[in-house]
Amino acid sequence: MKLVILDRDGVINVDSDRYIKSPAEWQPIPGSLEAIALLNQNGFRVAVATNQSGLGRGLFDMATFNAMNAKMMDMLFRVGGRIDALFFCPHTDADGCDCRKPKAGLFHAIASRFHTELNGVPAIGDAIRDIEAAASAGARPILVMTGKGPRTRKDPALARGTPVFADLAEAARHLVAEDR
pLDDT digits (tens, 9 = 90+) for 129-150: 999 999 999 999 999 999 999 9
pLDDT of amino acid 106: 98
Q: Is 122 exposed, middle or buried (0-12, 13-18, 19+ CB in 10 A)?
A: buried
* Res 172: pLDDT: 98
- The pTM (predicted TM-score) of the whole model is 0.97
Q: Does residue 93 carry a catalytic annotation?
A: no
50 to 1, 79, 127, 161: CA distances (angstroms):
22, 22, 11, 24
What does the pLDDT look like over 77-115, one tens digit per residue? 999 999 999 999 999 999 999 999 999 999 999 999 999
Is 9 one of the catalytic residues? yes
Evaluate if residue 180 carries a pLDDT over 90.
no
User: Out of 3.40.50.300, 3.30.450.30, 3.40.640.10, 3.40.50.1000, which CATH number does the structure's domain 2-153+163-179 have?
Assistant: 3.40.50.1000
Residues 9, 15, 130, 167: which is the catalytic one? 9
Residue 176: per-residue pLDDT: 98
pLDDT in tens, 25-73: 999 999 999 999 999 999 999 999 999 999 999 999 999 999 999 999 9
Q: Does the pLDDT value for residue 153 go beyond 90?
A: yes
